Amino acid sequence: MISLCHFRLLTDEIEISVAAATPCRPRPSPSPSPRDQVLGNIRRMRPDVFIHGVVSGGYGTTYFPTRFREALFYYSAQFDLLDATVPRDSPERLLLERDIFGRAAMNVVACEGADRVERPETYRQWQARNQRAGLRQLPLEPAVVKVVMDKVKDNYHRDFVVDEDQGWLLHRWKGRVLYGLSTWVAC
């Protein structure tokens, strides 16, 4: 018996394979994604500065094995961070594990199609998406970055690191990028 989740997975894969098998047929142009629409709205509003904070995850793909592997790496880092920094009997930790990270991880691996709401992109994917939307990245202030890096190094767990890459301030746990922050303006 095929469940609804399995059927949705099959239809996603069939759609991809049909599209790959018929490259010469004209395809209807896809409508802009909700993410692109929001970025377009931000560009049209022309704020003085748009501060963009993202969950940097590579588990937004439709291909299940890749999505599962990337989600495993990402959430393993999140749970490891909690193990190292928050007491096990903390009610806040239980809330994070059960209601936030647990539900999000389950959504990533158990749901397909419209039922899957967790679709993060890496900070580099967001950088390209922001540029396509007509936003220009502002450079990070080196003195501020140094102050933040020094404070994190002096006051936080040794495996938690903040560093900079391509104008993004990255939050890493044991080398895995978990979050990214950057600043943008409309071109």
Which pTM was predicted? Answer: 0.79
Asked whether residue 83 is assigned to any structural domain, the reply reads no
DSSP string, 93-139: HHHIIIIIIIHHHHHHHH--GGG-----B-HHHHHHHHHHTTEEEEP
Q: How many domains, the chain? A: 1
Reported as a single tens digit per residue, the pLDDT across 49-67 is 999 999 999 999 999 999 9
Asked whether residue 23 is assigned to any structural domain, the reply reads no
Asked whether residue 6 is assigned to any structural domain, the reply reads no
In sequence order, what are the residues at sequence separation of 6 or more whose Cβ sits closer than 8 angstroms to the Cβ of residue 111?
A: 5, 117
Contact between 74 and 118 under an 8 Å Cβ cutoff? The reply is: no
Q: How far apart are CA 54 and CA 170, in angstroms?
A: 10
Q: Which residues pair with 160 in a beta bridge?
A: 173
Residue 43 sits in which domain range?
Answer: 35-56+121-187
Reported as a single tens digit per residue, the pLDDT across 83-93 is 999 999 999 99
Asked whether residue 21 is assigned to any structural domain, the reply reads no
Cα–chain center distance at 130: 14
Asked whether residue 110 is assigned to any structural domain, the reply reads no
**Does residue 15 surpass a pLDDT of 60?**
no
Please tell me the number of Cα atoms within 13 Å of 19 on its side-chain side. Answer: 9
Q: How far apart are CA 86 and CA 72, in angstroms?
A: 20
How many residues make up the chain in this entry?
A: 187
| Helix, strand or coil, per DSSP, at residue 76 | helix
Reported as a single tens digit per residue, the pLDDT across 100-121 is 999 999 999 999 999 999 999 9
**Does residue 150 surpass a pLDDT of 50?**
yes
